[in-house]
Amino acid sequence: MAEKIIVLTGTSSGIGKELAGLLAAQGHQLVLAARREPELKALAKAVGGLAVVTDVTRREDVERLRDTALETHGRVEVWINNAGQGISRPVMDLSDEDLDSMMAVNVKSALYGMQAIIPHFMVRNSGHLINVSSFLARVPMASFRSAYSASKAALNSLTANLRMDLAESHPGVKVSLVMPGAVRTPFAQNAVGGDGQPLPASVPAQSVQEVAAAIAELVERPRAELLTNPAHAAAQLRYFQDVAAFEAAMRERA
């Protein structure tokens, strides 16, 4: 496979860390971003990527990440907005700060990434933007992840609208949305208000290796949307065919 220059955020743990190792093993050149400097630098040393300490909720940090990548490599071919955070709080318990935090980490950070790199892609009429969302943005399988799900739903909409905007004017620029479901990572423990509460047992979980492999495949073969768990395609269809029946079935399984 051809070597690509790939910028990847949220690499200090979980999906981002696993994906970085896989992409590096495939021969790609990585620019790795995360807030936690020790973990980021350790990963960059292990996989051979360039570490750029980045708070993705700060536009200037994201622009500096882009500038560093371009100054180092002269181009970027893939930009993956992977950074994100969860929350374990039902709708009626959410504070203003809870919602603002989820929107900043899960939506605005990706918007900053899109607005930073897409002009570079447009000039080249080439490039691939990948936004990592969540299946919970599409189907409400875990009501205690309310604000997280809402923020990822907003990310889904921004991604789709960007893809529509670029399709006519810059068809060489690809925009993809990735929706993992339950993944066996420390995500629940790291969530705001995190009590380690897992998703219901009825929700099938994937390993982080499976999700990383699916995203790596998307890098090679772009498409509009990717559900990393094949079982979720049928669940999504059932949900939209009869929302009330689907929700009733979920309550019975809980």
* Residue tagged active-site, from 135, 148, 187, 239: 148
How deeply is 80 buried, as exposed, middle or buried, from its count of CB atoms within 10 A (0-12, 13-18, 19+)? buried
Among this protein's residues, is 148 annotated catalytic?
yes
Cα-only R_g, the chain: 18
10: phi > 0 → left, psi -120 to 50 → alpha, else beta; which?
left
Q: Annotated active-site positions, please?
A: 148
